[in-house]
């Protein structure tokens, strides 16, 4: 008598299932429209910032060089998740193999750490500009800003390398899908049946040491900035100095608030609806790249002038 063939278990070891919007699968095509528009605006906005900083001589200043690095980071965040998100929403293509999944989470987390580090560097830029205005241009030269961006990028990629390599070695035998339409480190270790203590401890320590220290130094920088500004005699000059920080403060909030919300949901929201996880995840990866160019275009006078100059030149031609 021929024994029945057992179902293959290779799926659980080498393939993961991505998740769209649970319970709203019938509306994925409609949901994809605002998400696609959001990605498109984010890519066009950050590409425009890069073009303006490269071509407009009035923007060849340290503040705008850091803004260009932030735009590159935002583009990296967008491109890390765009293919898999649209693949799930448009084609219901949910399967992703181990290596692409590990690479995606590596780039996504690397660019997230990079965003945090760049926001800290931009806080230092504002600190030097306000506290040492006469030395600002000599301290933060173009080559130094470029070197800082390179170092921050290498640091961000390096600190996520070790847990990513461990993910490749794990066995994945727990049933279930990932919580988002893209791969996350904390999602993958949830499905692993190997010893994940190193990854859990390392991930927690890195978040505390990297992002935690970035937040701490941003707060410290603004404490010094506020102390310096309050010492200025003229009320008009005080307001002018503070206005140069508004865009950066909004960018900091746009990044850290969604990240904090997603972390809270992952840590303590085990009994919340899966839809909440998906919504928070989508906001955390799309909101900062979408809002940063909008904020700087509205709140920064030099960026507005550069945009108007481009449009006026096109009308002349």
pLDDT tens sequence across 159-183: 999 999 999 999 888 777 898 999 9
Average pLDDT of the chain, as a whole number: 91
Instruction: Identify the CATH number of the domain in which residue 129 sits.
Output: 1.20.1070.10
Bridge partners of 172? 192
Tell me the C-alpha to C-alpha distance, in Å, between residue 30 and each of 21, 89, 204, 259: 11, 9, 37, 26
Beta strand spans in the chain (E): 15-17, 95-97
* pLDDT per position as a tens digit, 36-94: 999 999 999 999 999 999 999 999 999 999 999 999 999 999 999 999 999 999 999 99
Residue 118 lies in a domain: yes
Residue 11 lies in a domain: no
- At 313 the pLDDT is 67
Residue 229 lies in a domain: yes
4 has a pLDDT exceeding 70: no
Q: How many domains is the chain partitioned into structurally?
A: 1
The pTM (predicted TM-score) of the whole model is: 0.93
Residue 46 lies in a domain: yes
CB 144 within 8 A of CB 150: no
Residue 122 lies in a domain: yes
Residue 96 lies in a domain: yes
208 has a pLDDT exceeding 60: yes
Report how far residue 255's alpha carbon sits from residue 263's, in angstroms, rounded to the nearest whole number. 13
Residue 8 lies in a domain: no
* pLDDT per position as a tens digit, 246-272: 999 999 999 999 999 888 887 777 788
* pLDDT per position as a tens digit, 112-137: 999 999 999 999 999 999 999 999 98
Residue 9: pLDDT band (50, 70, 90) is very low
Residue 10 lies in a domain: no
Q: Give the domain extent around 194.
A: 20-314
DSSP string, 171-227: -B------SSSS--HHHHHHTB-S--HHHHHHHHHHIIIIIHHHHHHHHHHHHHHHH
- At 272 the pLDDT is 85
Q: What percent of the chain has pLDDT over 70?
A: 94
10 has a pLDDT exceeding 50: no
13 has a pLDDT exceeding 90: no
- At 316 the pLDDT is 65
């Amino acid at each position: 008598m021929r024994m029945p063939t057992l179902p293959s278990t290779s799926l659980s070891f080498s393939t993961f299932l991505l998740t769209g919007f649970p319970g709203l699968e019938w509306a994925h095509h409609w949901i994809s429209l605002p998400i696609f528009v959001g990605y498109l605006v984010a890519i066009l906005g950050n590409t425009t910032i890069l073009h303006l900083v490269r071509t407009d001589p009035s923007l060849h200043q340290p503040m705008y060089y850091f803004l260009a690095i932030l735009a590159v980071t935002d583009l990296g965040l967008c491109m890390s998740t765009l293919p898999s998100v649209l693949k799930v929403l448009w084609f219901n293509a949910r399967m992703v193999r181990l290596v692409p999944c590990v690479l995606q989470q590596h780039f996504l987390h690397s660019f997230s750490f990079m965003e945090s580090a760049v926001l800290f560097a931009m806080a230092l830029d504002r600190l030097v500009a306000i506290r040492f205005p006469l030395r600002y241009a000599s301290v933060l030269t173009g080559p130094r800003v470029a070197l800082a961006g390179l170092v921050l990028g290498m640091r961000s990629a390096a600190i996520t390398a070790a847990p990513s390599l461990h993910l490749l070695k794990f066995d994945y035998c727990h049933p279930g899908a990932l919580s988002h339409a893209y791969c996350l480190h904390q999602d993958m270790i949830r499905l692993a049946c190997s010893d994940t203590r190193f990854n859990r401890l390392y991930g927690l320590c890195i978040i505390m040491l990297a992002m935690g220290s970035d937040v701490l130094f941003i707060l410290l920088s603004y404490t010094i900035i506020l102390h310096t500004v309050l010492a200025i005699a003229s009320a008009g000059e005080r307001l002018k100095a503070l206005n140069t920080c508004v865009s950066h403060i909004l960018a900091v909030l746009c990044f850290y608030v969604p990240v904090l919300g997603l972390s809270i949901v992952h840590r303590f929201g085990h009994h919340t609806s899966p839809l909440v996880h998906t919504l928070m995840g989508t906001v955390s990866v799309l909101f900062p790249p979408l809002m940063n160019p909008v904020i700087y275009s509205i709140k920064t006078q030099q960026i507005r002038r550069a945009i108007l100059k481009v449009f006026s030149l096109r009308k002349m031609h």
